[in-house]
Amino acid sequence: MRNLIIAGVLIIIAIVVLSQSLYTVDETEQVLVTRFGDVKNVHRTAGLRVKVPFVDTVVRFDRRLLRIDADPESMRDSKKENLVIDSYARYRILNPVLFRKTLISEDNAFSRLGDIVNSTLREQIALRTRPEIIGARAIVINGIPLEDEEGLAVFESTETRTALLAEVLEGVRLRVIASETTDSISVPIDMEGDDTFNITLPELILDRDNLDRDSNLKTGADTSDIRVVNGLEGETAGFDLEVRLWAPATRTVTLGVQPGESLTEGDNFTIQYFTERTDPLGIEIIDVRIKRADFPDSVTPSIFTRMRAERNRIATKFRAEGDEQDLEIRAEANKSREVILADADKASNQLRGEGEAEAIRILAESLEQDPEFFSFRRSLEAYQRVLNMGTTVILSADADLFRFLDSPGAQLESP
């Protein structure tokens, strides 16, 4: 009995140890095995793996495409008009060791990368107008906007939205593998009156236009990778500054002013450049897209008011066109009515005339055949009209009206 108990305990211990020693890696995962915080193994292929029980810890990361939905932010375009931009990005974890060291978890990556996406978008949005951001523009012919049948402006799609997203994607990729550095510089005292002066950067700058990981980003850098950013087109307090020369061997930047300008002691400016990131993120940005570009809530009422005014204008236009068509249709109908009535009167008069002529002809023929009977019939018609019930007529006995009443037989028999 005692042996059975010992055997059972050993079996249970073996099962627990075995369960703590074996683990599986799914096809959609990549796994880090850590021991007291240090990474011991990295597994990117599916299968059954072994680890030291109770000591090693398995940390799992998704190897599929992951999505970041950046928080909607209000951004200004080149005309200082606000737009609420809602965007998202897709990325893949390339190096789980660096990812864990820098971002720790996907939740932290969501926040960090969302800031990078919005920062890059804000920079690019500020360089473009609203139609360029939306990717559509109104069609204008001879200075007149083209409208459809409903009176609304007709738009055509452009490639500006695609170009914007391409620039944003490159900018996000650059900020993932490099650190954006901004330095504030003041003109030194001993350089006052000169048109150029030199500054030394603490690190080598990177080529922001070449993101191929197989190339050395430090060797391709030039003056275009250093930008003066504290004013529109490099304008600063009192002068217009530009980058003249970059010497990577000494990390020296030569700055100069436009012809006709001069440096003044204490003039401040800011330069921006990218250096190699000290904390690589271990990810690859696959795509950046804009889900929605909309107006801020603060201007929505004015937009609706403008839309109502536009719809009222279109409705008034349609009503005016309808009234005009109504008058035209009524005038045409009245004209047709008058023509039809005139034709009908003409036909009626013609038929009436023909009927009366035919009646006269028939009457004449009848008169010629038996004049006395015709006279008798006309007398009867006269009696019917004159001698109504209660009518008193005083005439001479010799009146021609009563000649048939006086001696009807004689009258009818007489030749």
- Residue 143, sorted as left (phi over 0), alpha (psi -120 to 50) or beta, turns out to be left
Name every residue whose Cβ is closer than 8 Å to that of residue 125 and which is 6 or more positions away in sequence: 75, 76, 77, 83, 85, 133, 164
Reading the block at residue 147, the tokens are 């409208």
Instruction: Identify the residue whose tokens are 């919005």.
Output: 118
Which sign, positive or negative, has the C-alpha torsion 351, 352, 357, 361? positive
Fold (topology level) of 66-294: Tetrahydropterin Synthase; Chain A (3.30.479)
CB 32 within 8 A of CB 100: yes
CB 39 within 8 A of CB 58: no
Give yes or no for residue 57 having a pLDDT over 70.
yes
pLDDT of residue 156: 58
**pLDDT band at 190; cut points 50, 70, 90:** low
pLDDT of residue 232: 45
Across 148-162, average pLDDT: 63
pTM of the model: 0.60
Name every residue whose Cβ is closer than 8 Å to that of residue 45 and which is 6 or more positions away in sequence: 25
DSSP-H helix ranges across 192-299:
none
CA atoms within 13 A on the CB side of 88: 8
Which of 29-38, 164-173, 187-196 is least confident? 187-196
Per-residue pLDDT reduced to its tens digit, 305-363: 877 887 888 888 889 989 999 999 999 999 999 999 999 999 999 999 999 888 888 87
Break the chain into its structural domains and give their ranges.
Answer: 2-62, 66-294, 371-415
Across 26-37, average pLDDT: 88
Report the percent of the chain where pLDDT is more than 70: 77
pLDDT of residue 82: 86
Q: Which of 42, 46, 93, 45 is nearest to 65 (CA)?
A: 93
Per-residue pLDDT reduced to its tens digit, 232-281: 445 555 556 788 888 888 889 888 876 666 667 777 788 888 888 888 88
In order, the DSSP letters of 217-234 are: TTTT--GGGSEE-SSGGG
Per-residue pLDDT reduced to its tens digit, 83-137: 889 999 999 999 999 998 888 888 888 888 999 999 899 988 988 888 888 776 5
Per-residue pLDDT reduced to its tens digit, 387-401: 666 667 776 766 666
Name every residue whose Cβ is closer than 8 Å to that of residue 103 and which is 6 or more positions away in sequence: 109, 112, 281, 282, 283
CA distance 30 to 1: 47
User: What average pLDDT does the structure give for the chain?
Assistant: 79
Which of 35-44, 174-183, 215-224, 345-354 is least confident? 215-224
